[in-house]
Amino acid sequence: MKTLHLAIITSSGVISLVVLGVYLILNPIIDVSPKILITNITTTPETLHVGDHFTVNAIVNNVGSRTVYFFSDYISGIFDKHVVVSHYGGCSGVVGGNILMPSQSEELTFPSPGCDYYVANSSGTTNVAVELRYDIQRMEYAVNASKEFTIFPKS
């Protein structure tokens, strides 16, 4: 929304219009939500069996008009059953910053590769709730997605 201010300067007879706000500056939080989409949630390996160690991959799409910032550890997935998180001993995780310009996408892997992994500990269907926290102009937002997977008995 633009606000106009009319000032009449009587000594010079000049009329000036002063624009007090510019839409994108005065309203930085407009046009941000929901502008990030999480799609194509898969596992590596693709088919899961009891005892498998695996990671989850997801495509993050910036469908908005603003640049998005996030760190690689800002994406997480929580399984509702049949899966636990395990940690490699002596691991030192690397956290990198990511920038997604408008219309860009990136594939992310979680939990943090090289440090943590998921373990399929029983068979059945399970649902993963994926969350990505991101920043636009120093304001934090979050987007969620979910996907159901089947874990098969050990072959």
Q: ∠ CA(21), CA(29), CA(36), 5° rounding?
A: 140
Gap between the Cα atoms of 118 and 72, Å rounded:
17
pLDDT tens, per residue, the chain with 155 residues? 444 444 444 444 433 333 323 343 444 555 545 589 999 999 999 999 999 999 999 999 999 888 888 876 788 899 999 999 988 766 665 556 788 999 999 998 888 766 788 999 999 999 999 999 988 888 888 999 999 999 999 97
30-152 in CATH: which number?
2.60.40.10
CA proximity to 36, closest of 108, 91, 116: 108
Q: Give burial (CB, 10 Å; 0-12/13-18/19+) of 56.
A: buried
pTM, to two decimals: 0.73
Q: Where are the domains of the chain?
A: 30-152
Q: Looking up tokens 């690397």, which residue turns up?
A: 94
- What confidence score (pLDDT) does residue 125 get? 98
